[in-house]
Amino acid sequence: MFDTLSGKLSGVFDRLRSRGALNEADIADALREVRLALLEADVALPVVRDFINTVRERSLGAEVLESVSPGQLVIKIVNDVLIEALGGAGAVPLNLNVAAPVPILMVGLQGSGKTTTSGKIALRLFKRDRKRVLLASLDTQRPAAQLQLQQLAQQAGVASLPIIAGQTPVEIARRAMDTGRREVFDVVILDTAGRLSIDQALMDEVRAIREATSPAETLLVVDAMTGQDAVNTARAFNEAVGVTGIVMTRMDGDARGGAALSMRQITGAPIKLTGSGEKLDALEEFHPERVAGRILGMGDIVGLVERASETVDQDEAEKLARKMARGTFDLDDYAKQLKQITKMGSLSGILGMLPGIGKMKAQIEDANLDQGILKRQAAIISSMTMKERRTPDVIKASRKKRIAAGSGTSVQEVNRLLKQFDDMSTMMKRMTKLGQKGLMRQGMGALMPKQQQNRRPY
């Protein structure tokens, strides 16, 4: 796959020895790489053009200091411009500042995740903000869509508008608002059918719904995997209904998410929330700096730590940390750690979240360092006796043969595991102070070939 932008840029600037201010010729190659990286990340072409112009203006005449390379300087400028373009620092909350019941209108293409997101927002407003929420499905197009929202409402513990067959979406919207007023709800979430931005009849319908309900928020729900069409969708929905906020869904996938930038630039509306899973609590505030790193392929270290904390059993991790501090970390503990790493997903996916891993990733794939190694190592450990796991020093030739046979591996592989565990124990003694997060990172570092461990991104 693609190398990271930082890797490419360092290549461009290796040829460049000049110091002082950057000039047009210096940055031309660099900007070509930036453009390519943005296009590969699915940022829409017109948005890329504007973006490159801004970066060019800002780079020209920028002073290259002694301490940074020209490449690092351009990367910093790109990153800064990107974060600004994505909305700058700080999350923008939902606007609920109108008289109750506050209508929130959900719009978007088919399959972008409107209904699931409606359920997630309902749960969030109910649990976190203690609001009385009414969910209403205006989707009379897709089979069982109304039933889907009703079931999500039950899961979230909020009310849903009773389904009356044969009503038009506008009628349902009016009924939802009436019910909202009569039964004193704080918020009414109106989930509409997915529609194509070029479907005039359905776009007119959503406009009518908007006029009938005057929503405080009109949220455009967009799949993070969306390609160049993001521009058309954003423009059409914005012109028809006036988008006030964007929700990016499927941020838990591995798409680079360039659509976020396109959407933000075209509509001018802030990205308010992101969806990152199928469970109802998988809704988060939008962090421009993280998404910027992701679009540029520079890794998402915060995301990695979050993923780790989501999947790693907290008690287990603390127990392991204590054991390490005491220097009693044994093979049993290592097996547990392997299991936790496996739970976090595919190894290359995890590695992809680390900055500057681009070049290494190819080498790792060449070395066949896949999930299989973790599994085999777990098998080797489970073929050991309790005594062997606690004091690996007792494992000599005949025990190794037995373990290899028991786990369906070879003596070499057993040796490799023991050697690795030995290295790891040494390392852990050194880094006890770093605590759990350090453990996670070093645990993975220990799986990589030695000479690559201390490589820096640039």
Partner 1 sequence: MALGFFSRLKEGLTRSTQKLTTGITTVFTRRKLDDAALEELEELLIAADLGPAAASHIIEEFRRSKFGKDVTDEEVKQSLAEEIAAILAPVAQPLVIDRALRPHVVLVVGVNGTGKTTTIGKLALQYQQQGLRPILVAGDTFRAAAVEQLQVWGSRTGAVVVSGPPNADAAGLAYDALTRARNEGADVLLIDTAGRLHNKAALMEELAKIIRVLQKQDPTAPHSVLLVLDATTGQNAIEQVRVFSDLVAVTGLVVTKLDGSARGGIVVALAQAFGLPVHAVGVGEQAGDLRPFEAMDFARGLVGAS
Where do contacts with partner 1 occur on this chain (CB under 8 A)? 1, 36, 39-42, 44-45, 109-113, 119, 141-145, 147-152, 155, 196-198, 223, 225-229, 232-233, 236, 250, 252-256, 258-259, 278, 342-343, 345-346, 349, 371
C-beta of 47 vs 102, nearer to partner 1: 47
Provide the 8-state DSSP code for 162.
P
Pairing of strands 63-64, 20-21: antiparallel
CB of 178 to partner 1, least distance (A): 25
CB of 125 to partner 1, least distance (A): 19
Angle between helices 331-343 and 314-326 (to 10 degrees): 150
CB of 259 to partner 1, least distance (A): 7
Handedness of CA 432, 433, 439, 445 (dihedral sign): negative
C-beta of 69 vs 151, nearer to partner 1: 151
The alpha-helical segments, DSSP class H, found in 103-168 are 114-127, 145-156
Angle CA(293)–CA(350)–CA(403) in degrees, nearest 5?
A: 165
Structure token pair of residue 258? 């360039």
CB half-sphere exposure, 411, CA atoms < 13 A: 8
CB atoms within 10 A of CB 374: 17
C-beta of 139 vs 388, nearer to partner 1: 139
CB of 304 to partner 1, least distance (A): 13
CB of 143 to partner 1, least distance (A): 3
Structure token pair of residue 135? 């969910």
Q: For residues 391-401, b (16+ Cβ closer than 10 Å) or e, as one string?
A: ebeebeeebbe
C-beta of 144 vs 164, nearer to partner 1: 144
Structure token pair of residue 202? 């359905």
Structure token pair of residue 132? 């009385």
Phi-psi label, residue 164: left if phi above 0, alpha if psi -120 to 50, beta otherwise: beta
C-beta of 110 vs 453, nearer to partner 1: 110
CB of 149 to partner 1, least distance (A): 8
CB half-sphere exposure, 136, CA atoms < 13 A: 30
CA distances from 259 to 38, 227, 232 (A): 10, 6, 11
C-beta of 72 vs 115, nearer to partner 1: 115
CB of 2 to partner 1, least distance (A): 9
Structure token pair of residue 274? 């992101």
CB of 229 to partner 1, least distance (A): 4
C-beta of 260 vs 269, nearer to partner 1: 260
CB of 404 to partner 1, least distance (A): 26
CB-CB contact of 384 with 330 (8 Å): no
**What type of residue is 423?**
D
CB of 233 to partner 1, least distance (A): 7
Which residues touch 55 (CB under 8 Å, ≥6 apart)? 31, 34, 74, 77, 78, 81
C-beta of 226 vs 425, nearer to partner 1: 226
Structure token pair of residue 131? 């609001």
State the Cα–Cα distance between residues 377 and 313, nearest whole angstrom. 20
C-beta of 153 vs 384, nearer to partner 1: 153
CB of 340 to partner 1, least distance (A): 13
C-beta of 22 vs 219, nearer to partner 1: 219
Tokens 């700058």 correspond to: 88
C-beta of 64 vs 295, nearer to partner 1: 295
